[in-house]
């Protein structure tokens, strides 16, 4: 009997989770209003969910399951309108971004649930520092072996998602010099990093059971890996992205992930353990420099620009994008990569214009809450 049964999903379905910030419009600081938001929200018959997160200044959107980009995008726009209307009724704002630009971590308030209280007890001050905000993308796969292959195959492309989603240049009141500073917070946790280099689900179950018997983990939720199999959902979950500043960009990233997964699973490139030898450096460079990063690409014979690498990948993915009605989405990604139109750049331009971070936060909220 399987100790970690993989439920499996039909086709390459997509779904996303978005961690969002609640902010006071006057001060730009976090608003500890998640309970009020959840009390007033009415999802009706929607299959999506909106839930509390570790801090009372956060909520999380869980989309329903989708076949393609257009249906996901439509649902996200509807959820944005619902959440924005509720927030206006409470006189607060909602915004994306991987970090709050200036909120002191020590001022965070842990949500009043048994899980989050347990995390606060286990991780101490890191629990409050963990009030950072990410997008998680779920890709449906039929079985555990396929999930493990896709996890490893996606490793080569995870720096793309770091740069495309980067929206956390400011943290604790300073410009960090990074496009994505959020990952430095995630790195502090002992179970961050990457899944083990195994390709059979039985081997992964053995690995999981070893850690569980040692008391290292209790469930798959305890792994804060950059990507991981999610057996209860039958998905592979990409966890490395910042929360974008708009739901439209979040949907674009999901379309990119779906087309990329389709290409990898159809063409099945041979994978080498050397992927993990360059990954940490490439991940850092993408977080530090965004689209301007130079990647270590042994298959290309040396360093290669991240911007060019994404553009090459988008060309490769064109036929797979057509399969999932994502041609326009991939073209929009191509345009923003050509012009460096990323959220970290927008945030720095906003700071240069307003000259104060509270005004930047108000602009973030306006950007997320507008149509």
Q: What is the pLDDT of residue 233?
A: 94
Q: In which band, very low, low, confident or very high, does the pLDDT at 198 lie, cut at 50, 70 and 90?
A: very high
For residue 321, give the nearest of 248, 250, 259 by alpha carbon: 259
Distance CA 103, CA 30 (A): 7
Q: What is the mean pLDDT of the chain?
A: 94
Integer Cα distance of 183 and 74 in angstroms: 29
Cα–Cα nearest to 307, from 294, 291, 289, 287: 291
pLDDT higher than 80, residue 45: no
Q: How far apart are CA 171 and CA 181, in angstroms?
A: 7
pLDDT interval class at 118 (50, 70, 90): confident
The DSSP bridge partners found for residue 94 are: 22
- The pLDDT assigned to 291 comes to 98
Q: Where would I find the H helices in the chain?
A: 34-40, 69-89, 114-123, 125-129, 144-154, 158-165, 182-186, 201-213, 247-267, 275-289, 306-316, 318-323, 327-339, 343-354, 357-369
Q: In this structure, are strands 224-225 and 192-193 parallel, antiparallel, or unpaired?
A: parallel
Compute CA distances 101 → 36, 82, 87, 356, whole Å.
Answer: 23, 25, 20, 10
Q: How far apart are CA 80 and CA 312, in angstroms?
A: 32
Please tell me the distance from the alpha carbon of residue 223 to that of residue 192, in angstroms, as a whole number: 6
3 band by pLDDT with thresholds 50, 70 and 90: confident
Report which of 78, 41, 96 is spatially closest to residue 245, judged by C-alpha positions.
96
pLDDT surpassing 80 at residue 1: no
Q: What's the pLDDT score for residue 67?
A: 96
Please tell me the predicted confidence (pLDDT) of residue 111.
Answer: 87
Sign of CA dihedral 120, 121, 125, 130: negative
Say yes or no to pLDDT of 292 above 90: yes
Cα separation, 269 vs 265, whole angstroms: 8
Q: Can you tell me the mean pLDDT for 9-37? A: 95
166 and 179 Cβ atoms separated by less than 8 Å: yes
Main-chain dihedrals φ then ψ at residue 224, nearest 5 degrees: -100, 40
pTM of the model: 0.96
Coil, helix or strand at residue 22: strand
Alpha-carbon distance of 31 to 95, in angstroms, equals: 11
Residue 298 clears pLDDT 90, i.e. is over it: no
Neighbours of 180 (CB within 10 A): 29
Residue ranges and CATH numbers for the domains of the chain are 14-363 (3.30.590.20)
Summarize the confidence of residues 104-121 as an average pLDDT. 86
Name the residue among 290, 283, 318, 313 with its Cα closest to residue 300: 313
Q: What is the DSSP letter of 300?
A: G
pLDDT of 259 reads 98
The mean pLDDT of 349-369, rounded to a whole number, is 98
Q: Are 283 and 165 in contact (CB under 8 A)?
A: no
Instruction: List the one residue out of 96, 57, 63 whose CA is nearest residue 79.
Output: 63
DSSP symbol at 291: G
Whole-angstrom Cα distance, residue 347 to residue 363? Answer: 9
Per-residue pLDDT tens for 48-82? 799 988 899 999 999 999 999 999 999 999 999 99
pLDDT score recorded for residue 204: 97
Summarize the confidence of residues 212-237 as an average pLDDT: 95
Tell me which of 9-23, 35-49, 165-179 is least confident: 35-49
| Mean pLDDT, residues 17-39 | 96
- Look at residue 41 and give its three-state secondary structure: coil
The answer to whether residue 371 scores a pLDDT higher than 70 is: no
The DSSP output letter for 240 is E
Mean pLDDT of 349-361: 98
Distance CA 371, CA 354 (A): 22
């Amino acid at each position: 009997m399987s100790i970690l049964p993989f439920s499996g999903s039909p086709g390459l379905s997509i779904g996303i989770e978005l961690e969002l910030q609640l902010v006071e419009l006057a001060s730009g600081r976090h608003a500890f209003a998640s309970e009020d938001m959840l009390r007033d929200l009415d999802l009706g018959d929607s299959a999506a969910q909106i839930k509390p997160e570790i801090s009372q200044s956060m909520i999380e959107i869980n989309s329903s399951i989708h076949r393609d980009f257009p249906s996901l995008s439509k649902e996200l726009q509807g959820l944005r309108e619902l959440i924005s209307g509720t927030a206006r009724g409470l006189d607060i704002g909602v915004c994306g971004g991987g970090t709050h630009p200036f909120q002191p971590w020590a001022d965070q308030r842990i949500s009043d649930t048994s899980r989050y209280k347990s995390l606060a007890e286990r991780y101490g001050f890191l629990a409050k520092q963990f009030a950072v905000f990410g997008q998680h993308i779920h890709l449906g796969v039929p079985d555990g072996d396929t999930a493990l292959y896709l996890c490893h195959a996606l490793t080569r492309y995870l720096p793309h998602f770091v740069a495309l989603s980067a929206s956390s240049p400011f943290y604790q009141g300073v410009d960090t010099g990074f496009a994505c500073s959020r990952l430095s917070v995630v790195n502090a946790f002992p179970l961050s990093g990457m899944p083990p280099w195994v390709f059979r689900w039985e081997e992964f179950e053995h690995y999981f059971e070893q850690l569980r018997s040692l008391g290292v983990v209790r469930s798959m939720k305890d792994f804060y890996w950059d990507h991981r199999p999610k057996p209860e959902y039958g998905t592979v979950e990409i966890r490395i992205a910042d929360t974008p500043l708009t739901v439209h960009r979040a949907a674009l990233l999901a379309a990119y992930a779906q087309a990329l997964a389709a290409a990898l699973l159809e063409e099945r490139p041979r994978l080498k353990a050397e992927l993990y030898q360059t990954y940490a450096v490439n991940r850092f460079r993408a977080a530090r420099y965004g689209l301007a990063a130079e990647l270590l690409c042994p298959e290309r014979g040396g360093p290669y620009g991240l911007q060019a690498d994404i553009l090459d990948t988008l060309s490769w993915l064109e036929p797979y994008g057509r399969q999932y009605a994502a041609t326009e989405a991939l073209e929009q990604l191509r345009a923003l990569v050509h012009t460096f139109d990323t959220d970290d750049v927008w945030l720095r331009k906003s700071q240069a214009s307003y000259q104060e971070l509270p005004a930047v936060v108000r602009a973030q909220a306006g950007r997320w809450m507008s149509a």
